């Protein structure tokens, strides 16, 4: 809870407000468990921390249930491009789970032209092809490897 409603610029509500400022979220919620706390008091504290700024929502839970305070709606025109960038980076990171021969198979499967090209050129072409395919392609390949 301390980190969630902290005034620190790198935690909790301030992280959410950065997402609002960057216009990458339609609604914003802080979420954490309650331990011997009153949900309404915490919601009031969240609201007071964002008083001059913007009302973010809260999702709090304890052994008695889940408590929700809705969020305002925010402009989110940058959300799709941010998600696309995240997916692009995710696919590249997921490649670290494959052996080199499996990467070579993907290069062939994507019909990446390797004739008279150096490693960097092939890698750039491979990444470009990778951006065109859905993330599920990589996830399904990984799933097959794990089984």
Q: Is the pLDDT at 132 greater than 80, yes or no?
A: yes
What ranges do the domains of the chain cover? 12-69, 79-146
C-beta of residue 62 within 8 angstroms of C-beta of residue 34: yes
Q: 56-113: per-residue pLDDT in tens?
A: 899 999 999 999 999 989 889 999 999 899 999 999 999 999 999 999 999 999 999 9
Buried b (16+ CB within 10 A) or exposed e, 92-113: eeebeebeeeeeeebbeebebe
Query: 3-27, pLDDT tens digit by residue?
Result: 777 777 778 888 888 888 899 999 9
Sheet holding 29-33, edge to edge: 29-33, 57-62, 65-69
pLDDT for 2: 74
User: What number is the average pLDDT over the span 16-42?
Assistant: 89
Model confidence, pTM? 0.61
């Amino acid at each position: 809870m301390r980190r969630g409603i902290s005034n620190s610029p790198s935690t909790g509500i301030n992280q959410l407000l950065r997402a609002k400022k960057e216009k990458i979220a339609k609604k914003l919620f802080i979420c954490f468990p309650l331990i011997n706390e009153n949900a309404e008091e915490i919601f009031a504290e969240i609201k007071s921390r964002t008083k001059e700024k913007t009302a973010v929502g809260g999702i709090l839970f304890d052994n008695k249930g889940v408590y929700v305070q809705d969020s305002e709606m925010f402009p989110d025109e940058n959300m799709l491009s941010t998600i696309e960038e995240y997916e692009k980076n995710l696919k590249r990171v997921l490649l670290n789970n494959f052996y080199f021969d499996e990467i070579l198979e993907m290069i062939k499967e994507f019909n990446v032209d390797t004739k008279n090209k150096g490693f960097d050129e092939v890698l750039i072409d491979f990444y470009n092809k990778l951006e065109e395919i859905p993330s599920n392609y990589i996830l399904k390949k990984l799933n097959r490897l794990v089984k």
